[in-house]
Amino acid sequence: MAIEYHVKTASAGMNACEFLQREISVAPVAYLNQLFKKGKVSRAALPLKADALLSTGDVILLPDSARLQELIALSQQQPAPPVILFENSMLLIADKPAGLAVHSSVGHETTNLTALLQQQIDQSDKKFRISPVQRLDLETSGACLFGKGRKALGELGKLLMERELKKTYLALVAGEYKGPAELVSDVHAKGKVKEAGCLVKTLSTNGTASLLQIELISGRQHQIRQQLSQQGCPLFGDRRYHGPCPPELPRVFLHSYKLFFHSPFGGEPISVITPLPEELSTFLRQVDLSLPS
């Protein structure tokens, strides 16, 4: 029986070899390329080329060999390689899973988004160092921006400081949000009280839960979680700020949905949208809400 891999939305647009490299992270690239050359990788009953682009719902079939089973088992013991949503010569934007720290910290010295991305880069023929331009909380998922090298990091950092980097989040909160469209309040951040601001738009609500779109004006630690809790609408899954925590939701419902900015290296607009992870989409349906198209 063949080994099956199903292509989800987050992987659509990747080529077949990149997809298998991500799914079977310890498999040597040369080994995967041999499988493609020998016609042992297929889609819709036809041999698949290594550079073929994939679509959501594609089913990729591999031969059920002892070697592949061993590589798959070893890969499952490793953290999944992060998905890169956008990349050019100066920057990259990665899809951060919930539960993975952005950078090295206590308990996350080697297993963090920056380290995992750097491992991918080091295994390729590219030679550069990356650093995060922004920070996402441990339980927050979604788009996260990195600069390649000091010059890029400095220029992208200026965008952040000058508020030219537009960061849009999706949050599911308890109740019906009735606060202002421009929410400004004091929050606790790194031992100090600081003013924080964001723009809030209700995308859908049923009175007991509301899906909000939030665009940050400032960027304080735990800002969204604190500000919405202050409004009597804490996030689902957020124990720290007294949100409802149903057992079927294993994390805070907060997702970095979109990044938009004009490149400081040429001026072209860069817009990246990250679909909701499966666990958040599933829970949204359970509370009878949906993300408008």
The residue from 76, 110, 125 where one domain ends is 76
Residue 81's nearest CA partner among 159, 142, 26 is 26
Q: How many domains does the chain fold into?
A: 2
Predicted pLDDT of residue 79: 65
> What's the CA gap between 61 and 2, in Å, rounded?
6
Residues 139 and 67 in one domain: no
pLDDT in the model for residue 274: 94
Query: Residue 29's pLDDT is what?
Result: 81
Same domain, 270 and 168: yes
Residues 72 and 89 in one domain: no
DSSP the chain: --EEEEPPGGGTT-BHHHHHHHHSTTS-HHHHHHHHHTT--EETTEE--TTPBP-TT-EEEE---HHHHHHHHHHHTSPPPPEEEEE-SSEEEEEEPTT--SS--TT-SSSSHHHHHHHHHHHSS----EEESS---TT-EEEEEEEEHHHHHHHHHHHHHTT-SEEEEEEEEES---S-SEEEEEEEETTEEEEEEEEEEEEEE-SSEEEEEEEESS--TTHHHHHHHHTT-PBTT-TTTT----TT--S--EEEEEEEEE-TTT--EEEEE-PPPHHHHHHHHHTT-----
Is the domain of 66 the same as that of 181?
A: no
Tallying the residues shown for the chain, one arrives at 293
The CA distance from 211 to 235, in Å, is 10
Q: Tell me, what CATH number does 170's domain have?
A: 3.30.2350.10
Pair 277, 146 in one domain: yes
Same domain, 154 and 197: yes
Residue 293 resides in a domain: no
pLDDT at 14: 87
pLDDT under 70 in the chain at which residues? 77-79, 105-110
Using the CB atoms, write b or e for 254-268: b if 16+ within 10 Å: bbbbbbebeebeeee
Please tell me whether residues 92 and 229 are part of one structural domain: yes
Do residue 56 and residue 91 come from a single domain?
no
pLDDT 10s digits, 201-232: 999 999 999 999 999 998 888 999 999 999 99
pLDDT number for residue 238:
94
226 and 269 within one domain: yes
Q: What is the pLDDT of residue 109?
A: 64
Domain termination site, one of 24, 43, 76: 76
Per-residue confidence (pLDDT) for residue 110, from 0 to 100: 65
Q: Does residue 245 sit in the same domain as residue 264?
A: yes
